[in-house]
Amino acid sequence: MPHLNIEIKARTTEQDRIRKFLKSKNAEFVGIDHQVDTYFKVTSGHLKLREGNIENHLIYYERENLSGPKKSTVTLYKNNPDSNLKEILIKSLGVLAVVDKRREIFFIDNVKFHLDSVSGLGTFIEIEAIDKDGSFGYDKLLEQCNYYLNLLPITKDDLIEISYSDLILR
């Protein structure tokens, strides 16, 4: 079942400051995950297999390329790390790009924060206001995303409109 996110991605050199802010807001620290996202060639949207120590999902999402908060429709499939799903996807679709990152994961209620160090690209923050069951709606998610965007040391010039895979492919 798809769910709705409103999210931003931004370059940052302020991860320590952001981490302190999150701790001051009693954010739940989920952990540090080494993630490899393999993006596959598809005709619409993005399809990636995330392999990590904490998160292992096949993820399909559709999202506009905007620099500010953007709507993303996401469908997750929990993958068993020992499955042969990756092999099937590589053989049937082909690989578009591979993103290797170290990700710190935090939550404040339904808002997820990622502090990412991406191989070959640098350091980033992502904010995702998540509605898994339709209880928040677009307007509330946008409000939540903007709230944290305005509190954190992020400027309009820091915002990224595209995915890490698109940055790697440039």
Residues 19-29 have pLDDT tens digits of: 999 999 999 99
How deeply is 110 buried, as exposed, middle or buried, from its count of CB atoms within 10 A (0-12, 13-18, 19+)? Answer: middle
Question: What is the domain range of residue 133?
Answer: 3-169
pLDDT at site 143: 97
CATH number at residue 144: 2.40.320.10
Give exposure, 144-169, as e/b (b: 16+ Cβ within 10 Å).
bbbebbeebebeeebbbeebbbebbe
Residues 98-129 have pLDDT tens digits of: 999 999 999 999 999 999 999 999 999 999 99
Q: How many domains does the chain have?
A: 1
Percentage of the residues of the chain whose pLDDT score is greater than 90: 95
Cβ atoms 21, 150 nearer than 8 A: no
pLDDT at site 64: 87
Q: From the DSSP assignment, how many helices (H) and strands (E) are in the chain?
A: 4, 9
Cβ atoms 118, 124 nearer than 8 A: yes
Check: pTM over 0.85? Answer yes or no: yes
Residues 44-91 have pLDDT tens digits of: 999 999 999 999 999 999 998 888 999 999 999 999 999 999 999 999
pLDDT at site 1: 77
**Strand residues in the chain grouped as ranges (E):** 3-11, 28-40, 46-51, 56-63, 70-78, 95-108, 111-118, 122-131, 159-160
